[in-house]
Chains A and B, each alone.
Chain A
Amino acid sequence: MNFEFSDEQKLLKDQASGFLKENCPLVSVRDIVDDDALSYDKTLWAKIGEMGWTSTTIPEEYGGLGCSYLELSVIAEELGRSLAPTPFSSSVYLATEAINVAGSDQQKNTWLPKLATGEIIGCVAVAEAKGQITPASLATESNGSTLSGTKIPVADGDVADFSIVFVRANIGDGASAYIVDLTQSNVERESIRTLDPSRSQAKITFTDANCELLGKEGEGWSLLQKINNTAAVLFAWEQVGGSEHCLEMAKAYALDRIAFGRPIASYQAIKHKLANVYVKNTIAKSNCYYGAWALSTNDKELPVAAASARISAIQAYYFASKENIQVHGGMGFTWEFDCQFFYRRSKQLAVNIGSELVWQDKLISAIELDRAS
Chain B
Amino acid sequence: MDFNDTPKEAEFRIEVRTWLEANAPTESELRDMEPMASSKLWQKRKYDAGWACLRWPKEYGGRGASAIEQVIYSQEEAKIQTPDNVFMIGQGMCAPTMMAWATEEQKREYVPAIASGEKVWCQLFSEPAAGSDLAALTTKAERDGDDWIINGQKIWTSGAHYSDYGVIVLRTDPTVPKHKGLSYFFFDMKSEGVETRPIKQISGASNFNEVYFTNLRVPDTQRLGKVGQGWEVALTTLMNERASIGSGGGGGVNFNRLFKLAQDVNINDKPAIKNDVVREKLANWYVQESGLKFTGHRTLTALSRGELPGPENSIGKLVGAPKSQDMASFGLDLLEQSGAIWDDEYSDFRGLYQTSYMSSPAIRVAGGTDEIMANIIAERVLGLPQEVRVDKGIPFNEIPTSSSVK
Interface residues of A (CB under 8 A from B): 1-5, 70, 247, 251, 254-255, 262-263, 265-268, 270-272, 274-276, 278-279, 282-287, 289-290, 292-293, 296-297, 307-308, 311-312, 315, 357, 359-361, 363-364, 367-368, 371
Contacts and interface: CB of A to CB of B under 8 A. Distances in A.
Contacts of A5: 1
Highest count of chain A CB atoms <10 Å: which of B282, B286, B295: B286
Highest count of chain B CB atoms <10 Å: which of A266, A271, A282, A307: A282
Interface stretch (B208-216, B334-342, B381-389): B381-389
Q: What is the interface of chain B mostly: helix, strand, loop, or mixed?
A: helix
Contacts of B292: 283, 286
B2 A289 contact: no
Given A3-B297, A70-B1, A284-B291, A367 B286 contact: yes
8 contacts: A1-B4, A1-B304, A3-B3, A271-B384, A275-B378, A279-B318, A283-B315, A308-B291
A134 to B, nearest CB: 16
A247 B298 CA distance: 21
Interface in B281-302: 282-284, 286-288, 290-295, 297-298, 300-302
Nearest to A68: B1
Interface in B117-169: none
Contacts of B293: 286
Contacts of A290: 290, 294
B284 A311 contact: yes
Contacts of B280: 357, 360-361
A167 B280 CA distance: 29
A272 B378 contact: yes
Contact of A266 (B1, B295, B298, B384): B384
A262 B283 contact: no
Contacts of B110: none
Highest count of chain B CB atoms <10 Å: which of A254, A286, A287, A363: A286
Contacts of A287: 287, 290-291, 294
Nearest to B373: A275
Nearest to B278: A364
A371 B383 CA distance: 43
Contacts of B387: 266-268, 271
A278 B380 CA distance: 12
Contacts of A1: 3-5, 9, 68, 297, 300-301, 304
Contacts of A284: 291
A70 B317 CA distance: 30
Contacts of B288: 283, 312
Given A4-B1, A266-B384, A360 B283 contact: yes
Interface of B: 1-6, 9, 68, 259, 273, 276, 279-280, 282-284, 286-288, 290-295, 297-298, 300-302, 304-305, 312, 315, 318-319, 371, 374-375, 377-379, 381-388
Contact of A363 (B283, B295, B318): B283
A297 B2 CA distance: 9
Task: Rank and list the top 9 A-B pairs by shortest CB-CB distance, nearest first.
Answer: A283-B291, A271-B378, A360-B283, A286-B294, A3-B297, A275-B377, A275-B374, A286-B295, A266-B385
Nearest to B384: A265
Contact of A368 (B9, B273, B287): B273
Contacts of A255: 384-385
A170 to B, nearest CB: 28
A311 B371 contact: no
Nearest to A266: B385
A270 to B, nearest CB: 8
Nearest to A363: B283
B282 to A, nearest CB: 6
Given A283-B288, A312-B288, 19 more contacts: A1-B3, A1-B4, A1-B68, A2-B4, A2-B304, A4-B305, A247-B382, A254-B384, A262-B385, A262-B388, A265-B385, A267-B387, A268-B374, A271-B374, A272-B378, A275-B318, A276-B374, A285-B312, A360-B280
B286 A308 contact: yes
A3 B290 CA distance: 14
A282 B247 CA distance: 15
B297 A289 contact: yes
A270 B4 CA distance: 41
B301 A274 contact: no
B384 A278 contact: no
Contact of A311 (B1, B259, B283, B382): B283
A3 B283 contact: no
A307 B384 CA distance: 33
Contacts of A315: 284, 287
B321 to A, nearest CB: 12
Given A275-B382, A287-B294, A292-B1, A308 B273 contact: no
Contact of B291 (A268, A286, A297, A368): A286
Nearest to B307: A4
Contacts of B318: 275, 279
B255 to A, nearest CB: 9
B315 A4 contact: no
Nearest to B256: A371
A324 to B, nearest CB: 14
A311 B298 CA distance: 20
A292 B292 CA distance: 16
Contacts of B300: 1, 3
Nearest to B375: A271
A263 B295 contact: no
A274 B293 CA distance: 22
